[in-house]
Every structure is written in C-alpha cells, then in structure tokens.
Amino acid sequence: MKAQGVFLEILSDLVLSIQAAALYPESHQRVQEPLARLHRRVRNEAKRLGGSLSVGFLGDRIVVDQFPFDASTLGIGRLAGRMASRGIEKVSIGEAVTLPEMKRFVYSVAGDGETDGSRPWKQISFGSLRGDDRAKFPGAGAGEGLPAPQVLAGAADVLKDVLHSIAVKGPLGNVEEGRDIVAAVMKGLRKEEFLIDRMIRLQASDDYTVAHSLNVCVMVVAQAAGLDLSEAVIRDIGLAALLHDIGKELLPAEILNKPGKLDSGEFAKISLHPVLGATHLRKISLGCDLPVIVCYEHHIRYDRSGYPSSRFPDVPHPASLMTQIADVYDALRTHRPYRTSFDRETALGMLREGRGTEFAPVFLDRFLRMVS
C-alpha cells in the first residue's frame, strides 16, 4: 500500500534525524537533509489525513495512522522505550507544523533539546492511547531532560561507515566523521560527569569492533580530559582511540567472527592488526601522527612485553597506555562467544593485578578512580 510505504519513510527519516541531531551540529548536512524530508512528508500526510498525523507507541510496535510497524526492525526500539518511560503513548503532529518546531521535537527526543517548558508546543501534542491525559515531554513542562548519554545515539552506524571507508578507500576515507564522533563523545562526557559505565552501555551495535572502538574512545577521552591538556589534543587522542583497531578491518571476516576461541595460527594473524592498521593509517592525512602511534602500540605493555615486539627501550606513548587500559577493560566487560563477560569489580581486580607490568601505574590509578 502506498500510504504504508510513506509512513515507513517517515519513520526512517525520524530515526535518521534523531541520530544525526545527537551527533552533529544543527548546520550539518546530515541533520538538515533528513529533517527537511521528515518535515515535508509529515505535513503532506497530516494534510491528507484531515489535519494531523498520529504516531502510537505500543511496546515493540509503532503505529502510524492505522499501520503497525515492528520497532526493532526499524532501529527505533530505543525511541519507543524512551517514550514509554515518560508515559507517552501517542504523538500527534498538525499539518501546520513549522520546521523549527519539528527540529525542536527531534532535538528533544535526541536528548539535546530545551527542558525548561518555557515555550508551548503549537502543532505537536503528546498523550495516552487510553485517554486524554497529557504526558510530560521536554519543553512541555517536564523538569528533567532525556538521559544525557543519548548524545551518542547513532554513533555506531556512523563509525561502522567510517571504519569501512578508511579500510577500503585509504587516503580517500572519511576521517572527518570520526572527528565528529569524538566531539560528540567529549560533549556527552561533559554532560554525564564521567559516568563511564552508563555511557558505554549505550552502545548496542552487533559489530563488536564498532561497539568496542566507541567504548574505548569514551574511556580514553574521559581519561585525557582529567589531564592538563587542550581540547585540540584531547580530540587527537580521542581519534587515535577510535581508530586503534582499524587493522582488524583488514583481516579475514571468518577469523574476526569466529564463534569459538582462536587457535594459534588464527591468533598469529589477529596479532598482525596493530602493524597492518598503523601501516594503513600512515597513508592517510589525519592531522597528526597519534592515530598511527596508538594503533601500533596499543598491545605493547608497560613492561614492553606484548605485541608487536618493541624494538625500542622507550615507554609507549601516554595515549597508547591509556588506550591499552580502556581496551582491556572493555574486552573484559564484554560478552564474547567463547566466554561470558566479567562483572565490573572482577574486571577492575584483573586490571589491578597488571599494575606496573601490563599497565602504567599512573594511568591505571587514574582510570580506577575514574570508573569507581
């Protein structure tokens, strides 16, 4: 049916707009394009339906007009969950909705909108499917905003494209969107006051390397923010952490996705990823050498053991040492096909055991205080 297809396009544009709003500034093309499409399509359908378009949220179902859609297949399960947590079961949008009001709605859902209730909603209303009681929503009387970590919503999808682009296109890869992700991480950490575990639980990508890279970036940026460093240096460190495992994109998928434990030959191939990644990154204009350094060194331990074999007596770069700690912690906290995840205290205990050998004491102590 034509109407059902249009409603699906509206939901898809809503998802894209929310993800982009959480990650990019308002002027960014990735925000402007889906938002303009969403506004146009909603107005057209609201007019066709007699003045308004209604979207209902029923558990794992989202209903537009009378057509149900499976939220999980559209990637908007979190949107439905956030609406449900506020008691919002229905959103109605009038045909006269303006682009600024639509933008305000999108940014409120993304978790970055106004929350003081100073302006009423003119063409957008929120309520219950079981009655006329009004539900609270940011900017409509709610005193608190949506969870601050939603600033990273959609980052996994963008990062997946970034890693693939860099691995396949080399110098033509899209590094700038990687920088945008780091900026979003910095913004989220400022809002969330370094509650690291809450931020990294946000990531739900099926791609382990993508989710892991985001988690490591979050933790390394948080560590760097606690040092006396400029924002420019923190951004460089964040980009290095984000790309630390880019070498895995150059390895056979059957090894990366193997459901069981790796044999010795497979582990030897996996162990090449720091060298492969660093060699690949050297061909790309990154603005600094730090991503190359961290990519090469993030498996070299504080005592110079690990891999690749260290040919120099110098301690690895501080950014590499911070990345190594975050790398190990996230791996321990993540469920893998061949083992279950470790709880937080067990993982931290295992880090403490490596103090002075595997991990630099000064950075490990800072990390332990940060996550505690």
Cis peptide before 313 (omega within 30 of 0): no
Out of 146, 169, 199, a domain closes at: 146
Out of 123, 146, 169, a domain closes at: 146
Tokens, residue 294: 């961290």
- pTM surpassing 0.85? no
Cα–Cα dist 92/77, whole Å: 19
- SS3 of 300, please? strand
Tokens, residue 107: 């940014």
pLDDT (tens digit, 0 to 9) for every residue of the chain, 372 residues total? 577 788 888 888 888 888 778 777 777 788 888 999 999 999 999 999 888 998 888 777 788 887 887 765 555 666 676 677 666 788 899 999 999 999 988 888 776 544 445 578 889 988 765 544 444 444 443 333 333 344 455 566 666 677 777 777 777 666 777 777 787 777 666 654 444 554 454 444 446 777 788 889 888 988 898 898 888 899 999 999 999 999 998 898 888 878 788 889 999 999 999 999 999 999 888 889 999 999 999 999 999 999 998 766 778 999 999 999 999 998 998 877 777 888 889 999 999 999 999 999 999 999 998 887
DSSP 79-143: HHHHHHHTT--EEEEETT--HHHHHHHHHHHHT-S--S--S--SSEEEE-TTSSPBPP-TTTT-S
**Do 347 and 333 form a contact (C-beta atoms < 8 A)?**
yes
**Do 297 and 320 form a contact (C-beta atoms < 8 A)?**
yes
The amino acid at 124: I
Domain encompassing residue 254: 151-371
Query: What sign has the CA pseudo-torsion 340, 263, 166, 306?
Result: positive
Task: Examine the domain organization and report whether 194 and 45 are in the same domain.
Answer: no
Out of 124, 146, 168, a domain closes at: 146
Task: Examine the domain organization and report whether 155 and 141 are in the same domain.
Answer: no
